[in-house]
Chains A and B, each alone.
Chain A
Amino acid sequence: MNINWKAYQNELITLLAFVVMLGAYAYKHSQVSTQATQAQTVQQSLEELKEVIALKKIWGDKKTSKKMKKLKTLIPASKVKWSEKSKKVTASYKGLTANELNKLTTKILNLPVEVRLLDIQKTGSSYDVEFKCKW
């Protein structure tokens, strides 16, 4: 079929411009969705990374061993039986006063260690504590 395109020149100009506009709109739309997905991915990675860094900072702290030594000296040595082997501690405390117990538990709560056992028993007016942890 021989179409006289020149006869439809006005429509063609308008149509072409309209197609360009649609193309630009589609491009904008794809940019928006691509950017949104990308932003979401980047944000997710960023949050995940920040979380990992924060977790590592707490539970992978290299100064934990040093901090554990303070736990040993917190209570008079006569009341403490301390055993430490490759990032594992087993400690027994005998005859702790309520104040000492308070001090000890507060310290334990603030240490970044995995508590394997915390056993507190009241004996008369004092307390006996058994504490096992690792890091």
Chain B
Amino acid sequence: MEKTKELLLVHTSMERVTLLESVNVMLTPQFYTLKKEALPVKYAYQAKKIAPSLFEGLLEEGSSYEYMVYKEEDTWVFIAFDTEKITAFLESKGLVGGKVAKVFFAQQALDSFTAPLALSDKEALVVIDETVVVVPQSALSEDEQPSLVFGEDFTPKGGVTLKSKGMNHASMITQKQSWALAAVFMLFAGLFLVESSRYGGETKESEAQLQSLYEAYPALQSSYARKGIADKYRSIDTAERKKRDAIKAFSGMIFKGVTLTSLQVNEKSFKAQFACADAGVAKKVKDLAKKAQYKTAEVQGSSDLSIEGTL
């Protein structure tokens, strides 16, 4: 993807540029220090670990260097670069942080430098001993005059992303930490989504049951119809249950010594009269009636009891 971007050759004598879109840049050896070593290491990360010791004494003290390591046949190529200095230079030439996508080093495009490449009237880039270097044009022989045209086809594989001074200060977390945190958050997000998709199983079961009942009783599909029917039958059910409960309660009051003399149940109330053999029996009946929360009254001049209630 990066290869499709314009590749800009950055050197100290370049003109200031105005960019509309981000570009890739290729730095000349003016911005980095190169060292080649044949080391008995297998992986680039191992080589990168020993990079600082390789450049000891070669780099300016007090600067913060970063390293790029890659393999050129049997040799490891080490490139040390000062991000802050490069960033400052790029910014001075109009290449602000957001406009620079990837940064490459001229050494990475070694094979593309098939002839000298002019940087300015005075300087040129040439390959000497498999190393890209800046030389004065005056040092070039006549048959070595700069003829190479720089373009996107010089874009090598694997560049670096510059972290500007501002970036380092602004960023509170490292890229590794940010990806780790993002992974954790995304994991939770996934869990929440999976969990949310699990809800609704119970509803589906009830809905299916409801649907099958609607199919069996199509007249009850309308909530108004349902309410009308429910209201009608509910009031009947309540009243009739009360009547039947009262009759059952009165039946329970008939035992030895108690005779039912009358019972009247109508749509509003109920009333029963019992003839009791003696006061003890009458008290027992009275207690039962009170337990059922019915009104009791003794019939004057006898041990008979009158019990009544409303519906």
By the criterion CB–CB under 8 Å, are A58 and B237 in contact? yes
Q: Count contacts between A and B, CB distance < 8 Å.
A: 172
Chain B residues whose C-beta falls within 8 Å of the C-beta of A50 in the assembled complex: 213
Number of interface residues of B (CB under 8 A): 64
Contact partner, B98, options A6, A13, A115, Cβ 8 Å: A6
- Kindly state the separation between the CA atoms of A92 and B274 in the bound complex, as whole angstroms: 22
Interface of B is mostly: helix
By the criterion CB–CB under 8 Å, are A114 and B209 in contact? no
Chain A residues whose C-beta falls within 8 Å of the C-beta of B213 in the assembled complex: 46, 49-50, 53
By the criterion CB–CB under 8 Å, are A10 and B97 in contact? no
B140 at the interface (CB under 8 A from A): no
Q: Given that A4-B166, A105-B247 are contacting pairs, would A13 and B182 also be in contact in the complex, using a CB cutoff of 8 Å?
A: yes
By the criterion CB–CB under 8 Å, are A21 and B203 in contact? no
By the criterion CB–CB under 8 Å, are A55 and B229 in contact? yes
Chain B residues within CB distance 8 Å of chain A: 96-98, 164, 166-167, 170-175, 177-179, 181-183, 185-186, 188-190, 192-193, 195-197, 199-200, 202-203, 206-207, 209-210, 213-214, 217, 220, 223, 226, 229-230, 233-234, 236-237, 239-240, 243-244, 247-248, 251, 259-267
Contact partner, A49, options B183, B210, B239, Cβ 8 Å: B210
By the criterion CB–CB under 8 Å, are B185 and A17 in contact? yes
Contact partner, B237, options A45, A53, A55, Cβ 8 Å: A55
The 5 closest A-B pairs by CB, nearest first: A17-B182, A55-B233, A10-B178, A24-B189, A17-B185
By the criterion CB–CB under 8 Å, are A18 and B248 in contact? no
* Max count, chain A CB within 10 A of own CB: residue among B178, B259, B261: B178
Cβ distance A107 to chain B, nearest Cβ, rounded Å: 12
Q: Given that A17-B186, A32-B196 are contacting pairs, would A39 and B203 also be in contact in the complex, using a CB cutoff of 8 Å?
A: yes
By the criterion CB–CB under 8 Å, are A118 and B189 in contact? no
Q: Given that A42-B206, A59-B236 are contacting pairs, would A118 and B265 also be in contact in the complex, using a CB cutoff of 8 Å?
A: yes
By the criterion CB–CB under 8 Å, are A27 and B196 in contact? yes
By the criterion CB–CB under 8 Å, are A28 and B186 in contact? no
- Kindly state the separation between the CA atoms of A109 and B265 in the bound complex, as whole angstroms: 12
Chain A 28-42, CB-CB to B under 8 Å as 1, else 0, gives 100110010011001
Binds B, one of A63-71, A72-80, A119-127: A119-127
Q: Given that A11-B172, A50-B213, A120-B263 are contacting pairs, would A20 and B178 also be in contact in the complex, using a CB cutoff of 8 Å?
A: no
Cβ distance B280 to chain A, nearest Cβ, rounded Å: 22
Q: List 8 A-B contacts (CB under 8 A).
A: A4-B166, A17-B185, A21-B188, A42-B207, A49-B210, A117-B264, A117-B265, A120-B262
